[in-house]
Structure 1
Amino acid sequence: MKRGHVHIKWPNGSESTVKIGSDWLKEANKVGVEIPTGCLNGSCGACEIEVNGEVIRACISSIPSQETGLLDVEYSIDPYW
């Protein structure tokens, strides 16, 4: 893998290698993953995804580095919605 990049496993089964610091929404769109959005400023939580088990808001977060070089992405499920 290229230095400064991370490998991502997406919820639709596709995989990609992306540059650290890239935009979650743009990279997801490239592989056909639609992350729901609402306010696009992090307030509403519509864009929440789980990355290696940690819930993040994709609209205000960038793709982080990972020691293992692998990020596993799943849609976040809120039992109260």
Structure 2
Amino acid sequence: MSKVAVKFMPNDVVIEAAPGEPMLEVARRAGIMIPTGCLMGSCHACEVELDDGESLCACIAGIPGDRPEITIHLFSDPVW
């Protein structure tokens, strides 16, 4: 299984991850804190956007394995 280079923006931190690895775990290993609420994808506190424009909830998402690198854009929500 090949690794995926995952870049977290705006922090500009890059880490390698296995395809399918839980996104929150990858962020934690990279020293990135993604806020969470329900941990079931319902509250959208952990919503991130991939470089292709797809929005998803990091708490229920794995690292896509369809490309060698991805960029994950983090949002800052003062309510969470």
Superposed pair shares fold, TM > 0.5: yes
Unaligned runs of 5+ in 1: none
Q: CA RMSD in A?
A: 1.6
What is the TM-score of this pair, normalised by structure 1? 0.83
User: Which has the greater radius of gyration?
Assistant: 1
Match of 1:55, as an amino acid? S
Which whole-Å CA distance do the structure 2 matches of 1:43 and 1:56 have between them?
11
Show structure 1 runs of 4+ deviating over 2 A. none
Native 8 Å contact 1:41 1:59 kept in 2 = yes
Q: Determine the structure 1 residue equivalent to 2:56.
A: 56
Per-residue deviation at 1:4?
2.5
What is the TM-score of this pair, normalised by structure 2? 0.83
Q: Determine the structure 1 residue equivalent to 2:72.
A: 73
Q: Of residues 3, 6, 10 in structure 2, which corresponds to 1:5? A: 3
Deviations 1:7-61 (A, max 9, x none): 1111211101110010111110111111010000010000000111210101111
Q: SS at the partner of 1:49?
A: strand
Q: How many residues align?
A: 75
